A and B are shown apart, each in its own frame.
Chain A
Amino acid sequence: MCGIIGCVGRGERTLDTLVDGLERLEYRGYDSAGITLLGDDLGVRKTAGKIADLETLLDERPVDGHIGIGHTRWSTHGPPTDANAHPHQDCTGDVAVVHNGIIENYQSLRDDLSAEGHTFTSDTDTEVVPHLIERGLEMGDSPEAAFRNAIAQLDGSYAIAAIVGNEEAVFAARNDSPLVIGIGDGTASSDREYFLASDVPAFREYTDKVIYVEDGEFARLDSELAVTDSDDQPVDKEVHSIEWDAEETGKSGYDHYMLKEIHEQPRALRQCLSGRVDELAGTVNLDGLSDRSPSSVQFVAMGTSYHAALYGTHLFQQAGIPAQAFHASEYATATPPTGDALVIGITQSGETADTLSALREARSRGAETIAVTNTVGSTADRECDETLLIRSGPEIGVAASKTFTGQLAALNLLALATVESARTRRGVVPELRELPGRVQSILDDSNAAEIAEEYHDSESFFFIGRRYQYPVALEGALKLKEISYEHAEGFSAGDLKHGPLALVDEDTPVFAMVTGDDEVARKTVGNIKEVEARDAPVVAVTDGRSDAALYADHVLEVPETIPRAAAVLTNVQLQLVAYHVANLLGRPIDKPRNLAKSVTVE
């Protein structure tokens, strides 16, 4: 995935605005970056590398102008090179285009254009767009018409912004990729300023007024803003106010966004619950979401969100509702939802391509869909029948931390509000309300840094758990993989001796999540003994109610609570372990190699 940005009406601050915005979008990808400014002519600067490398280039070769577009790239077609970095241009150098998404028919378009004599300089799908625009201009189209006609020839997903000729405007179009427009108050040099970007934080510093561009719509940003549909008819757009602050996107004294976001979890949990639970009445109120009793539930999600989905299946199954979790990318072959089945898509960004397409699939099969997301106005939010916001606030670290916690809390609310009994609600609501304080106690007292110090040189890391702790084991392993690049696997504790135990030796620490003192805990303690017998160091993540600590080399303590809430707590300890291991290994924690924050291609 990539991030795009554009602005008009910012005068001399145009360049700074673009570069700042790209930095804020860097979480969407960071293997190459570039910008174009329209001044006396069209100046393009682009380079492989991070935004910092682009800034170095800009220092060496300054560029100025008062209308501009920019791009931070995540490679899909062609390796991260200077040539493949956006913006891309036509043969004349009068057109510049940035693009997020995938143009599926680019090869045939490129073959046609090449045959007509157009010269391509990159391996990207995007480069066909400026050449298509150039062809339109040659045929006598106005810049706007040339842009519209070029877009009309594209199949695939895109958010595209372009500067065409000397026309003092930015043109934009969207299909299946995120695109928002910000409306600023204007400055001394102009009455109005307009921004466009893949995501709001890119320009949140300058305005809180946004409109969401829909699929098939076009926008023209110059001294005013015009949004039109594919037939060139004006569209009346609703202006939304963004409530959260860009301030939440700064690192504020922490070494990494991830550590900051881990520490924000008590607050994020309070926000998730705020106004939704009534402890006195023992009720959970999720507005439009509450009154339904699905006959079955299917979750679709990817990555960390998939682990939340697995957790969700346990909640619904415990309430007697058949529930399944699918990797969204595999959903096409799932048994179709029937009757009153509910399909719940979990996606932090609301833009995860696999999850969006699974949700569309579910809708086409007639199911009701719910998006569990962190992002208001995201595609998932707008396309699903209902949305449950997790309210975690912006998450910049590529590896999800507070949003996973928020997803677990939100799924609890959803199960309580829909299928669980009043008695369960009365028991669970107080425990949920206590989660923020309990997470805070882990943050205050955790010895995860010492555990990381002890084991960061290990060959592999294993994580085991049962029931609600099984998804935590998977998530703990994923987190470690993502940010430390070390080998890590999560298993259901019971499955250990059916194969994975062969991998266990004295150099493979095993993290075992054991909470409570019931049958589940006792069985997991049995698995710990099996591991210990193979001389593997064992780290028990436990509330101390079982005798797990007796068989463990180290203990990560969590406060006592009910099993479903304990999963949130044990996961926080594993987040801290992963963070400290990665930090000791000197990894770029917020931007691990090969990964992007939200994956907007399938």
Chain B
Amino acid sequence: MNVRTAVVLAAGEGTRLRPLTKNRPKPMLTAGNRPILEHVLDALVDAGIEKLVVVVGYRRTRVQEYFGPEYRNVPIEYVLQGKQLGSGHALLQARDATAGPLVVVNGDRVIEPGSVTQVMEAFDAGGGSPVMAVIERDDAHEYGGVRLSGGEITDLVEKPQPGAFRLINAGIYVFEHDIFDAIEETPREAGELALTDTIERLMERNSVSSVQTGGIWADATYPWDLLEVTSTVLADGRVKEAPRADGVWVGESATVHQDATLRPPVAVGADCVVGPGSVVGPDVALGENMTVGANVTVERSVVDSDSRIGHGSTVVDAVLGQSVHLRADASIPGGPADVRVDNEVFEEQPLGAVLGDRVEVGGGASFDPGALVGSGATIGGGCYVAGHVPGDAEVVR
């Protein structure tokens, strides 16, 4: 194949995912104990990409620390997007790090490994005109809706009316290197430069072809989406921990007490401890070096590394950030709940609670379904928490 380089856009915060993105960019949120970005890089490396250019910005050290200078023996060059001024602007930063045609992919969605190969093949067959991957989705109104005519893209509408589109822009492209000129020629909208604006201009001038992909395409827009994304990834077995039984993965040096139960699908990270009498799973990913005490129930939840869940606690439908502490007998009993984010209310979401990084929860505290707790907040023992708790706040009885 002619395309050897890929540019991955991984500079964005993902503001709707706060508080989980307080200390990391959206691509570093985990899906099955691996950053979403790692799933993306897998797809690129599987497709034979020989050089990875990762555009970093918001909280970039998290990306650089995790991946280092290579991923699966493919060298990574990091380029900095100092200000987050849109996807086109992000891509532009990679101009000098690339030569020849390039794959461009969003770093914040789990994609099907084969889809990158499909787009690259379509580019080779199409003689150099731009190619975009499209995929069928029920929630097309959340994304860029796409209409096709004979494989060529005729319409690209951001956040269209519900029901108007069935295909969306999957965020995987191949361009010739002159895409950078096209981006520079694109007028900025309110200072921002969206890659899709440039693509629309390309559509006017010459054809942008499409390739329809299938399989996994998992995005998290809101914090609770991570539960679904994790379930998808676990169901597909895209987990790096070693399989212990069907649907049960346990990382290196993890200790699961003989009287604890792991219910598939479940992934237990390296160096985790699961105490006696605890039941973990289904649909749970425990990050590395975290501790689950005795007689704990964890169900349909994502827990990030270095966290601790005290004896007798219940954690259902919850997303817990890094170094979260639940003391004994804390209770997150699970959804459904009406969740408010900014001025929007999302009804009947299966969400127990979202706890940002380093939230401290005292013994016996419990959570109303749908509670969102900002990073660094302290919840006193025995408190009942409902709605929003801002970061670094202290809640006492």
- Chain A interface (Cβ < 8 Å from any Cβ of B): 245, 247-248, 250-254, 260, 263-264, 266-267, 270, 273-275, 278-280, 430, 433-434, 436-438, 440-441, 443-444, 559
Contacts and interface: CB of A to CB of B under 8 A. Distances in A.
A279 B257 CA distance: 11
B65 A437 contact: no
Given A280-B257, A437-B323, A437-B358, 9 more contacts: A247-B73, A250-B70, A251-B69, A274-B270, A275-B253, A280-B276, A430-B308, A433-B289, A440-B306
Nearest to B257: A280
A441 B59 CA distance: 13
Contacts of A251: 69
A434 B290 CA distance: 9
Contact of B252 (A247, A267, A275, A433): A275
Interface string B254-281: 0101000000000000110101100000
A433 B308 CA distance: 10
B308 A434 contact: yes
Contacts of A263: 61, 64-65
B322 interface: yes
B291 A252 contact: no
Contacts of A440: 23, 306, 322-323
B78 A252 contact: yes
Given A260-B64, A434-B308, A270 B271 contact: yes
Contact of B64 (A248, A254, A441): A254
A247 B68 contact: yes
Interface residues of B, number: 36
A529 B68 CA distance: 44
B357 interface: yes
Contacts of B308: 430, 434
Nearest to A246: B70
Nearest to A560: B360
Contact of B65 (A250, A260, A430, A438): A260
Given A274-B253, A434-B306, A252 B76 contact: yes
A263 B23 CA distance: 13
Contacts of A270: 270-271, 288-289
A436 B65 CA distance: 14
A331 B373 CA distance: 55
A-B pairs, 5 with minimum CB distance: A250-B69, A437-B306, A437-B323, A253-B78, A275-B253
A433 B323 contact: no
Nearest to B54: A253
Contact of B275 (A280, A434, A441): A280
Contacts of A278: 255, 273
B60 interface: yes
Contact of A274 (B65, B252, B323): B252
Contacts of A260: 64-65
> What is the predominant secondary structure among interface residues of chain A facing chain B?
helix
Interface in B191-245: none
A252 B271 CA distance: 26
Contacts of A274: 252-253, 270-271
Given A267-B65, A280-B255, A438-B323, A433 B291 contact: yes
A95 B294 CA distance: 70
A253 B306 contact: no
B67 interface: yes
Contacts of B68: 247-248, 250, 252
B33 interface: no
A127 to B, nearest CB: 38
Contact of B358 (A252, A433, A441): A441
Contacts of B30: none
A280 B259 CA distance: 12
Interface in B55-91: 56, 59-61, 63-65, 67-70, 73, 76, 78, 80
A444 B56 CA distance: 16
Contacts of A430: 291, 308
Contacts of B70: 245, 247, 250
A436 B289 contact: yes
A569 to B, nearest CB: 13
Nearest to B260: A280
Contact of B323 (A254, A267, A441): A441
B312 to A, nearest CB: 16
Nearest to A250: B69
B305 interface: yes
A274 B252 CA distance: 8
**Most chain B beta-carbon neighbours within 10 Å: one of A248, A436, A437, A441:** A437
A264 B271 CA distance: 17
A264 B306 contact: no
Contact of A436 (B73, B273, B291, B306): B306
A280 B294 CA distance: 9
Contacts of B271: 270, 273-275, 433
Contacts of A254: 61, 64
Nearest to A270: B289
A101 B61 CA distance: 38
Interface string B303-323: 001111000000000000011
A247 B323 contact: no
A444 B375 CA distance: 12
A275 B254 CA distance: 8
Contacts of B73: 247
A47 B298 CA distance: 64
B358 A253 contact: no
A252 B257 contact: no
A252 B257 CA distance: 39
27 contacts: A247-B68, A247-B69, A250-B68, A252-B76, A253-B63, A253-B64, A260-B64, A260-B65, A263-B65, A267-B65, A270-B288, A273-B271, A274-B253, A274-B270, A279-B273, A280-B255, A280-B275, A430-B291, A430-B308, A433-B289, A434-B308, A434-B323, A440-B306, A440-B322, A441-B357, A443-B61, A444-B23
**Most chain A beta-carbon neighbours within 10 Å: one of B61, B308, B322:** B61
Contacts of B305: 436-437
A260 B270 CA distance: 23
Contacts of B306: 266, 433-434, 436-437, 440
**Most chain A beta-carbon neighbours within 10 Å: one of B63, B64, B80:** B64
A275 B271 CA distance: 7
Contacts of A559: 358
B254 to A, nearest CB: 10
Contacts of B273: 278-280
Nearest to B324: A437
A441 B325 CA distance: 14
Interface string B335-360: 00000000000000000000001100
